[in-house]
């Protein structure tokens, strides 16, 4: 049962966790996800970032790709215990927390200077509720960087999961979704992998003053 227009079915979200548990042991074989993590790490601005949170961290590819990662307080959260087991093994310096699919995440307001989320937002029960919670977790000058499959992506695999790519898969759609969460788009970039298979949108969001 889909609960309303911008929500994914909660049963399907539970399926997502078990699907990623099954993928965990071979997830890092995905060249696309490794290269996207590197792209995200190159896109983020790290000046002044003390604590960073990677939501839907999976095996922690984005955290692993960040430069000088051992000098920051890095935290990753995910619904899949199997993915987090790999993340903990590969990045012992970071903290990893198993979370439920819905907000709020178990952190205090203003805890993070940077929040990243790569190819995870479209899997969440409500992308808007997730953005609202991330806004709560940001320090005043903090930034959110979302990488998501673009609506221009042609990978049929994206259809396997309940998703809301149409809500977030273009710069305009992402800006419209972020506005009620008190967030505005600062920078965007399109990244193409094996055109026209996967096209990803990278977008940096800041709190509206």
Ligand X SMILES: C[S@@+](CC[C@H](N)C(=O)[O-])C[C@H]1O[C@@H](n2cnc3c(N)ncnc32)[C@H](O)[C@@H]1O
In terms of CB distance, is 99 or 153 closer to ligand X? 99
Nearer to ligand X, 98 or 186 (CB): 98
52 contacts: CB under 8 Å, gap ≥ 6: 63, 66, 72, 73, 74, 75, 112, 113, 114, 115, 116
Residues of this chain that interact with ligand X (CB under 6 A) are 13, 16-17, 20, 33, 37, 55-58, 61-62, 78-80, 83, 99, 101, 118-120, 123-124
Quote the least distance from Cβ 109 to ligand X, whole Å.
Answer: 19
Q: How far is the CB of 139 from ligand X (least distance, A)?
A: 21
Residue 101 or 182 with smaller CB distance to ligand X: 101
* Closer CB to ligand X, 36 or 206, in the complex: 36
Which lies closer to ligand X via its Cβ, residue 105 or residue 206? 105
Nearest C-alpha neighbor of 111 from the set 77, 84, 78, 88: 77
DSSP 8-class letter at 79: S
Q: Which residues contact 209 (CB under 8 A, 6 or more apart)?
A: none
- CB of 26: closest distance to ligand X in angstroms? 13
Smallest distance from ligand X to CB 54, Å: 7
SS3 12: helix
- 101 sits in which H/E element: none
* Shortest Å distance, C-beta 83 to ligand X: 4
Q: To the nearest 10°, the Cα dihedral for 173, 176, 181, 184? A: 100
Least distance in Å: CB of 63 to ligand X? Answer: 9
Angle of the 127-137 helix axis to the 171-178 helix axis, nearest 10: 60
Question: Which of 127/142 has CB closer to ligand X?
Answer: 127
The helix/strand/coil state of 206 is: strand
Q: Select the residue whose beta carbon is closest to ligand X and give its number.
A: 58
How far is residue 102's CA from residue 126's CA, in Å, rounded to a whole number? 8
Q: Which residues partner with 146 through β-bridges?
A: 117, 203
């Amino acid at each position: 049962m889909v609960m309303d227009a911008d929500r994914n079915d909660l049963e399907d979200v539970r399926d997502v966790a078990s699907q990623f548990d099954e993928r965990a042991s071979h997830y890092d074989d995905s060249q696309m996800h490794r290269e996207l993590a590197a792209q995200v790490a190159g896109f983020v601005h790290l000046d002044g970032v003390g604590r960073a949170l990677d939501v839907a961290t999976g095996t922690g590819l984005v955290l692993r790709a960040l430069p000088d990662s051992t000098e920051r307080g890095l935290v990753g959260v995910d619904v899949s215990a199997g993915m987090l087991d790999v993340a903990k093994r590969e990045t012992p310096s970071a903290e990893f927390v198993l979370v439920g699919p819905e907000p709020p995440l178990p952190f205090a307001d203003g805890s993070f200077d940077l929040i990243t989320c790569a190819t995870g937002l479209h899997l969440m029960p409500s992308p808007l509720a997730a953005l609202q919670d991330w806004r709560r977790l940001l320090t005043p000058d903090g930034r959110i960087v979302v990488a998501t499959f673009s609506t221009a992506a042609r990978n049929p695999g994206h259809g396997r999961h309940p998703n809301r790519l149409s809500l977030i898969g273009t710069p305009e759609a992402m800006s419209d979704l972020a506005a009620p969460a008190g967030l505005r788009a600062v920078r965007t970039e399109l990244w193409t992998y094996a055109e026209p298979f996967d096209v990803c949108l990278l977008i940096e969001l800041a709190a509206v003053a």
